[in-house]
Chains A and B, each alone.
Chain A
Amino acid sequence: MKYSLQKISHDQAGFEALVGLWAETKDCLFDDIDIDMGGTTWFDADMCAALGAILYRLGKKLNMITLKNVHPDVGKVLSKNGFLSHYGREKIPDTWKTTIPYQRFDVKDDRYFAGYMETELIQRLEMPVMSPGLLKKFRESIFEIFSNAVLHSQTEQGIFSCGQFFPKKHRLDFSVTDLGIGIRQKIKESVGLDLAPEKAIVWATEERNTTKCGEIPGGLGLKLLGEFIDLNGGRIQIVSDAGYWRREQGKSVTALLQQPFPGTVVSVEINTADTRSYLLSSELSEADIF
């Protein structure tokens, strides 16, 4: 099997390209899959989380994956963040320290993920200077995404993450991908609703809608994330099954991708120049919280 991968941007078109790859290769078993990246003249580094998840799934089916003709500029970034180390290349030093390494986690790796976040993001000297309030909200948001994947995806194949700073643009991109059952199927199994893929994402992002059953309530994580992104002036994208959902500047857009993704991707863009304090002057009292 040979497949030619095109430009992978951090947007709907980039996700379309990745689901196209998955559609062409998903039935491969014990196959040699050669992915020609000669035409991949741009690759937004956080999208390694989504591509890595697809390739991991193909590897689980004992396919031999080779990335060929990697464009030098793309190869440099994907070697710095450690992605290409999974496919036969050496990791190279990240001189400007703008990458957040590509990493795969198991669902029980909450603490390992927390350590990765602290080491690779929060405590790095190269991290853009953010207000304490923004840093706290950012940290919480990333953990909400990871917790969401752990709680809802039912994945046995792991959770993948990767990110990139853009110091001059005051932007930080970060993506988390799981290879779980996807939002649509989860809602169908847990709540009995058979929604279109993009409608399922809308449902999951609204407050108090939850697929959690039993004694532990849920239904806040993605809503909180959306609220933070609205205030921050950033952007959030979610891909699950063939659903695509994007929120920026307080507005949501949905679309149906041409092919399904084998799991769920949550991708955020953070505006690191945001000076909002985020520290609430809450009227709530500890005495009457319950």
Chain B
Amino acid sequence: MNNNLVLSIFEIVGSPLCVASSDGQKVYDRLATVLNEGRGVTLSFHNISTLTSAFLNAAIGQLYCKFSEAKIRSLLKVQDMEPDDLGLLKRVIETAKLYFKDPQKFERAVQETLGDGEHGA
């Protein structure tokens, strides 16, 4: 039994362009299956040239809906990421944590938007 599973995003998506939410869903489906089993997994970004927040939200962001932060941190790792891609992933993760933890976020967003006086007409 393999306890050091490495999933290649390139192999799953079949392209260096990871831009579509639907492709992110394919990655998520595999990750969710592994985490459900309580196994560790490393996600390899080797040969990936382009990422979007839409792809990462679907592939990784939605993990925070189903799994605890502690579980994700203990079982999931990433490798072969460019520093700026890592920065994007970090923002996606922080947004996902807020999205799933803060049911009042829209109400606050309304107040902030409607009270924002910086935008001219």
Contact = CB atoms under 8 A, between A and B. Distances in A.
Interface of A: 110-111, 114, 118, 133, 136, 139-140, 143-144, 146-148, 150-151, 191-193, 195, 198-199, 202-203, 206-210, 212, 215-221, 224, 252-256, 278-282, 284, 286-287, 289-290
Interface string B63-94: 01110010011001111011110111111110
A217 B121 contact: no
Given A199-B114, A220-B95, A136 B119 contact: no
Contacts of A144: 52-54
Interface string B12-45: 0001010111110100000000000000000000
Contacts of A206: 109, 112-113
**B: interface residue count bin:** 35 or more
Contact of B99 (A151, A203, A217, A289): A217
A290 B69 contact: yes
B49 to A, nearest CB: 8
A202 B116 contact: yes
A155 to B, nearest CB: 15
Contact of A217 (B78, B84, B96): B96
B52 A140 contact: yes
B86 A289 contact: yes
Nearest to A199: B113
A146 B113 contact: no
A217 B96 CA distance: 6
Closest 6 CB pairs of A and B: A147-B54, A110-B20, A282-B83, A217-B99, A143-B19, A220-B53
24 contacts: A110-B20, A118-B17, A140-B50, A143-B19, A143-B52, A147-B20, A191-B106, A199-B113, A206-B112, A208-B98, A209-B109, A215-B62, A215-B65, A215-B66, A216-B61, A217-B92, A218-B57, A218-B99, A252-B118, A256-B121, A284-B87, A286-B86, A290-B69, A290-B73
Nearest to B99: A217
A191 B103 CA distance: 12
B89 A289 contact: yes
A253 B120 contact: yes
B110 interface: yes
A253 B84 contact: no
B46 interface: no
A219 B99 contact: yes
A282 to B, nearest CB: 4
B58 interface: yes
Given A207-B95, A217-B99, 7 more contacts: A151-B54, A217-B61, A217-B62, A218-B54, A282-B87, A286-B78, A290-B73
B7 interface: no
A254 B120 contact: yes
A208 B72 contact: no
A110 B23 contact: yes
Given A193-B110, A216-B61, A290-B93, A147 B19 contact: yes
Contact of A216 (B15, B62, B110): B62
B79 to A, nearest CB: 6
B120 A217 contact: no
A286 B81 contact: yes
A61 B78 CA distance: 50
A217 B15 contact: no
A252 B50 CA distance: 28
A280 B109 contact: no
A139 B50 contact: yes
Contact of A148 (B54, B61, B114): B54
Contact of A203 (B52, B84, B113): B113
